[in-house]
Amino acid sequence: MIPEPTEAADYHVRYTRCNATNPPPCDNFSDKNEWLPLYRVVAHLARIEEYMGDHHRQSPRRVVITGLGAICAIGNTVDDVWRAVAEGRSGVAPITRFDADGYETTFAAEVKAFDPAMAVGRKDSRRMDRYSQLAVVATREAVSHAGLDIAPIAERVGVLVGTGMGGIETFEHGTETLITKGPRRLSPFVVPMTLPNMASGLVAIDIGSKGPNFATVSACAGSAHAIGEAAMMIRDGRADVMLAGGSEAPITRMGVAGFNAMGALSRRNDNPEGASRPFDAGRDGFVLAEGAAMVTLEELGHAEARGATVVGEVIGYSTTDDANHMVQPAPGGVGAARAMALAMEDASIGPSDVAYINAHGTSTPLNERLETQAVKRAFDGLAYRIPLSSTKSMTGHLLGAAGSLEVVITVMAMRDGLLPPTINQETSDPDCDLDYVPNIAREGDIPIAMSNSMGFGGHNVSLILKRWDGA
């Protein structure tokens, strides 16, 4: 019970004179008895705040998933993506977005059969960078899948779209125009189309949502951050529905050349489909990919009230930073391990409750070694008993959109009881000795799963997802 305030009536009598026309001499505290009732009321308000905080922690608003949307190299819908994952199909192929002759890497994971004019309309497509176009398409699928009518609840619906590169293609074309044709030939849309928050804004315009809206820009952790922060907004009562995820379209001349300059991309030009091989001893870099994935998150009571079909639940989230290096994870994977441990704590579960981990698994020599160490650190001896896989072996690395795509895939895996494979496993690495579900998907009961994302800048995100078996 909330305690009753003491001498509340006395407070009312003494301080009815506290108004704009006759304020008390608030700088004179000589009469302590005069101010004592106010102190008592303030103390009572503090007790109420403490009570409400305890009550909130004990009974948080539950966040469920009611819609999924995805478009990437292995499919233009969620069903197509999941079918390709289950079959272990790669979406990597030679680059067609530009002439890659002379580049150190000549392949990527491009979205296929995508016509922007057909997808978002001819006029709008000219005013959107490709990453925004993909975000709109994925969001529409997530909204449709959720059966959501946004108009009546628009002010309680928000959007968070994560990205790492934003409108890099627009920026690249704009720079080329500036250099070759001069400043007066630049389009007035260059700046807004380039902005990393513009996908969130355009999605809101497209679906009519008027709640919280911003972009999470944390490199390859961007869309995982978006889902985690969106879930927190629903938990805290700031929204009832959030469309959250990420979008990326980095397959440009600058994108490929820039990552090549870092030595980050695979150079298996003779075998594109076999290039992404997380945890394999022969991995030599990640495969650049484009696409978008969005989820409809909803407060459980709101979803039940409208008769929505729930497909999963977000029960845990944590984010940490390595504070170690611009692009290298901390030694021993300590930052990532801490994120996993804190996410499990947030979900009120232990390591033995996690039945599957969708790993960050980029196919770079350093990441997989340190991620394996991080999992061992977070799960101790149980690490060898938990299957984990990297679906980037099929989708390539969508950078800021990777985390949300992997959440979509993990939800489907939980639904169907199928562990996604890590394809292209040919040579074992002694530093990577866990169960990576090599090459072929296999059956497995997944009541609770973890999805991990890490990004340049030392960002770590861990999300805990629960299969929906009823409230």
Catalytic residues: 220, 360, 397
- CA 294, 295, 299, 301 torsion: positive or negative? positive
